[in-house]
Amino acid sequence: MDKRRKFDEHPTVVRVRERSADAVLRPGPLDAEWLRKLALQAGADDVGFVEIDRPELADERAEIESALPGARALIGFVCRMNRDSIRSPARSVANLEFHHATDDTNDVARRIVSALQERGVRALNPAVGFPMEMDRFPDRIWVVSHKPVAVAAGLGKMGIHRNVIHPKFGSFVLLGTVVIDAEIGEYSRPIDFDPCLECKLCVAACPTGAISPDGYFDFSACYTHNYREFLGNFGEWVEQLADSRDAGDYRSRVADNETASMWQSLSFGANYKAAYCMSVCPAGEDVIGAYLDDSRAHLNDVVRPLQHKAETVYVVRGSDAEQYVAHRFPEKRTKLVGRGLRPTSIARFVAGMPLLFQREQSRGLDATYHFTFTGAERRRITVSIHDRTLDITDGHQGTPDIRITADAHTWLRVLTDKSVLPRALLLGRIRPHGSPRLLLAFARCFPM
């Protein structure tokens, strides 16, 4: 018997083909009301639907289709968290809520996928948080950006604190997404107002100054402190461990409570160090009542305990955050740590500059830099720093105040270890043409 005939006569193949002959073809678009009830029954607190070609998701489409070829729509949903747990100055309480709520949200997404699979719809649920695609770290390590999906699905708007604010549940939600290969009969639209109250309490509570009143967000400050035991910051701790001569040297670098906290993160789930911006936010119909009744009580009971909490704030030496904590929260301790995010290519260096730029360190600097990278990765870019703003363009644009030619590999080594720079200059692997002061000023804008 040849292989094809043997395959055709296999009991599983025979039964499935017999069943398929009598099967009704999967209907067209899924009924939106049926799908909404399915998501709510699975445990979601609100849900919306977005077509794959929605313009707001243009930057996401390639990644989504790579994860699920043939993807046609996305189901965005939210799950509520317990507010008072998140607001607690005791980080063990807040983190326990984050961990359990994350598990619950993943479970909701999985239940939706299972129900759709039974209906013959291909579907997948990317992780709400961790784990993610760490083989791509420090580049994009997620499958779907839940925030733009949630906004497009009418589940809220991004607040000044960079969290999605749901019109009813406020900031106290976690976001989930299910990707499907079917169309939906009716899609959701973004809400027509901004739930953010512009109260700026998130600005007042942030221990690192990452959120500015004018809306500017210092990603590096937030990442360095709040994610101290995550991702690249965990790697920085490992390097301290590796560099220690002995136990005594290690203890001089890392306090016992920091070691215990790292053990806790490794054992039970990584701990956020703050997330105070979410804690103090009074937005949302279900949340705002107490704030409207007595805003002073909200300040005394929710905001000030976080502001006055005695804690260590992790900052990069020479960063805006280091100066901010010393000025705004002198009762908090600062600990100088290395920058957890280090580029592994020139492309990642360029993409990461806006995230690491320290605008207060650039105060008074007005300069245009022409970079020419040679060697393994060739690229030319123009970097302009003016009035505390950063602008990056490909190619050499305008008249430079300084030109820098650098071997790509050497430049990346300097970004990891500044001690490499003198030898790189001596050997001509980095060649500045212009005032050395401008090169030093550039380095101050991106402290390590």
Instruction: Report pLDDT for 99.
Output: 94
Contact 89, 207 (CB under 8 A): no
Together in a domain, 278 and 295:
yes
**Together in a domain, 240 and 360:** no
Q: Look over the chain and give the mean of its residue pLDDT values, rounded to a whole number.
A: 93
For residue 51, tell me if it sits in a domain. Answer: yes
The 10s digit of each residue's pLDDT in 139-154 is 888 899 999 999 999 9
Is the domain of 333 the same as that of 439?
no
Token pair of 184, please?
């939906």
Q: 375 and 342 in contact (C-beta within 8 Å)?
A: no
- Distance between CA atoms of 371 and 394, rounded to whole angstroms? 10
Please report the pLDDT score of residue 137 as a whole number.
83
Q: How many domains does the chain have?
A: 3
Q: 248 and 168, same structural domain? A: no
377 three-state secondary structure: coil
CB 409 within 8 A of CB 420: no
Q: Is residue 87 packed enough to be buried (19+ CB in 10 Å), middle (13-18) or exposed (0-12)?
A: buried
Same domain, 286 and 368: no
Mean per-residue pLDDT for 85-105? 95
Whether residue 218 is found in the same domain as residue 267: yes
Residue 193 lies in a domain: no
Split at pLDDT 50, 70, 90, the class of 20 is low
Least confident piece of the model among 63-72, 154-163, 184-193, 411-420: 411-420
Report the distance separating Cα 139 and Cα 342, nearest Å. Answer: 10
53: in domain: yes
Positive or negative: CA dihedral 140, 143, 146, 151? positive
Task: Say yes or no: 171 and 240 in one domain.
Answer: no
Residue entry with tokens 């760490």: 134
Q: What is the mean pLDDT of residues 110-130?
A: 94
More confident residue, 258 or 14: 258
Same domain, 31 and 175: yes
**Residue % of the chain over a pLDDT of 90:** 82
Q: Answer whether residue 11 is part of any domain.
A: no
Strand, helix or coil at 47?
A: strand
437: exposed, middle or buried (C-beta count within 10 Å: 0-12, 13-18, 19+)?
A: exposed
* pLDDT at position 307 over 90: yes
Please check whether residues 45 and 154 belong to one and the same domain. Answer: yes
What tokens were used for 161?
């604190």
Q: In terms of residue numbers, what domain contains 297?
A: 201-337
67 and 113 together in one domain: yes
Query: Which pLDDT score, from 0 to 100, does residue 322 have?
Result: 97
Q: What pLDDT digit, counting tens, does each position of 180-211 carry?
A: 999 999 999 999 999 999 999 999 999 999 99
In this structure, is residue 49 part of a structural domain?
A: yes
Q: Is 176 helix (H, G, I), strand (E, B) or coil?
A: strand
CA dihedral (344, 349, 352, 354) in degrees, to 10, reads 170
Q: Give me the pLDDT at residue 136, please.
A: 83
Q: Residue 288 in 3-state DSSP? A: helix
Residues 6+ apart with CB under 8 A from 84: none
328 and 350 share a domain? Answer: no
**CA 40 – CA 54 distance, rounded (Å):** 24
Question: Has residue 13 been placed in a domain?
Answer: no
Q: Are residues 169 and 256 in the same domain?
A: no
For residue 331, give both structure tokens: 């009762």
| pLDDT at position 426 over 80 | yes
Which residue, of 283, 308, 337, is where some domain finishes?
337
Segment 323-349 shows an average pLDDT of: 92
Confidence class of residue 3 from pLDDT cuts 50, 70 and 90?
confident
Per residue in 351-383, pLDDT tens?
999 999 999 999 999 999 999 999 999 999 999
We report the CATH number of the domain holding residue 426 as 3.30.1050.10
* Domain boundary pick from 315, 337, 359: 337
pLDDT of residue 21: 56
Q: Is residue 1 part of a domain?
A: no
Q: Report residue 441 as tokens.
A: 């000023």
Boundary of a domain, candidates 320, 337, 354: 337
User: What is the value of pTM for the model shown?
Assistant: 0.90
Identify the CATH number of the domain in which residue 41 sits.
3.40.109
- CA distances 170 to 34, 81, 130, 150, 432, Å, are 26, 10, 23, 13, 50
Assigned domain for 16 exists: no
Q: Judge whether residue 165 has pLDDT over 60.
A: yes
